[in-house]
Every structure is written in structure tokens, then in C-alpha cells.
């Protein structure tokens, strides 16, 4: 009986490892200073923390210690919601691979998959292929660019058929 359970467990582990996605490549260079500022969410894969939110933005500020302050906000049924966290670059030889935390000490992967040369739009996701965002410096992004980023993401194993496109017609945030 123990041998059967062990065999089933090993088979399950083998099947799980066989279905693991390929490593997710990231951009080769990121100027964190240029990356800072406000990014508008154009599209995302479903994520419980953003369910029902529109007008979603992410604001990044480079701190003196090299960490990046992260402030995400969006508008939902209960008004404006805000989450503050921190991003770190654990390995400078892999500049497109960041780790983000809103609940320290727990961090999640934040991979910059594609980045416009002028830092006007980006494709960001996780190696699990569960999380993905198209970000822009403006509330709208040219449909051709969205199509290119979506095709690239699909090619990398993301299920872009589940994209949620973010509306940006919300009331001003109350100070």
C-alpha cells in the first residue's frame, strides 16, 4: 500500500513538473529612475485584489535605499481604494525581475516582460502566467500596441482571452 501511495505521489509530482511553464524572459535593461512615476492600467488578467476596480494606476517612487515605493489605487463601488507596498530588485544582473510586497514579509514576482524604449508602455507579469498587466503612461494606449503586447503575452503562455480592459472615467480622487 505504501508503495502505491508513493508511486501515485511521484507520478503527480512528475506530471506537475512537466506542465510547468517555460521560464519567463524579461527585458535586459531597466532604468529604475525612468520607470518611476505613474502608470495607468490598460488591461489585466483577473486578480482578486482588483476585482470591480477601474481607473487603476500604479505610482512608483525610487527611494534613497534603492527600494521602490509602490502605491496602487483604483475606483470601485466603495469609492477609491489604495494599497501601498515596496518593490525590490533582488538581482541587478536581472534588472527586469522585481519582487513586490504589500504584505511584508510576503513578496510576489513582478517581471517586466516588455518595455517601450521611451518608457511609455510596458507588459508586466508573473512567471506563473497567473498575473499580467498592460501599463501605459497615459489613460489610453493605441490599439495596435495593445494587440502587439497581447500577442506577445499569448505567445509567452498567458491566457489573454481573460483580459479585463480598464475604464478610466472615474471621479477625481478625494485628497
Where do the structural domains in the chain lie, given as residue ranges?
27-165
CATH number listed for the domain at residues 27-165: 2.40.128.20
| Residues contacting residue 167 through CB under 8 Å, at least 6 positions apart | 54, 55
Residue 174 confidence (pLDDT): 57
Given this model, what pLDDT does residue 98 score?
A: 96
Cβ contact 167:53 at 8 Å: no
Read off the C-alpha cell for 71. 502605491
The whole-number pLDDT of residue 5 equals 33
Q: Which three cell numbers stand for residue 59?
A: 505610482
Which residues in the chain land under pLDDT 70?
Answer: 1-20, 174-175
Q: How far is CA 153 from the centre of its chain?
A: 12
In this prediction, residue 16 carries a pLDDT of 37
Closest CA to 116 of 29, 40, 42, 37: 29
What pLDDT score does 20 carry?
A: 58
Which residues are 61's β-sheet partners?
69
The pLDDT of residue 7 is: 33
Which pLDDT score is estimated for 173?
Answer: 74
- Residue 175, CB-side half-sphere exposure with 13 Å CA sphere: 0
Single pTM value for the model? 0.86
pLDDT at 171: 86
- DSSP reduced 3-state for 174: coil
The answer for 127, left when phi > 0, alpha when psi is -120 to 50, beta otherwise, is alpha
What per-residue confidence (pLDDT) applies to 8? 33
Amino acid at each position: 500500500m505504501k508503495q502505491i501511495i508513493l508511486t501515485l505521489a511521484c507520478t503527480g509530482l512528475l506530471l506537475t513538473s512537466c506542465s510547468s511553464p517555460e521560464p519567463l524572459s524579461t527585458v535586459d535593461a531597466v532604468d529604475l529612475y525612468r520607470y518611476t512615476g505613474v502608470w495607468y492600467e490598460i488591461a489585466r488578467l483577473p486578480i482578486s485584489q482588483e476585482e470591480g476596480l477601474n481607473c487603476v494606476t500604479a505610482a512608483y517612487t525610487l527611494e534613497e535605499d534603492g527600494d521602490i515605493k509602490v502605491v496602487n489605487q483604483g475606483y470601485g463601488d466603495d469609492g477609491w481604494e489604495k494599497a501601498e507596498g515596496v518593490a525590490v530588485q533582488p538581482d541587478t544582473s536581472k534588472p527586469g525581475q522585481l519582487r513586490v510586497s504589500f504584505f511584508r514579509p510576503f513578496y510576489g514576482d513582478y517581471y517586466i516582460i516588455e518595455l517601450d524604449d521611451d518608457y511609455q508602455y510596458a507588459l508586466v507579469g508573473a512567471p506563473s502566467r497567473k498575473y499580467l498587466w498592460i501599463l501605459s503612461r497615459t489613460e489610453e494606449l493605441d490599439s495596435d500596441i495593445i494587440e502587439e503586447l497581447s500577442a506577445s503575452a499569448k505567445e509567452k503562455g498567458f491566457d489573454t482571452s481573460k483580459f479585463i480592459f480598464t475604464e478610466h472615467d472615474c471621479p477625481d480622487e478625494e485628497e
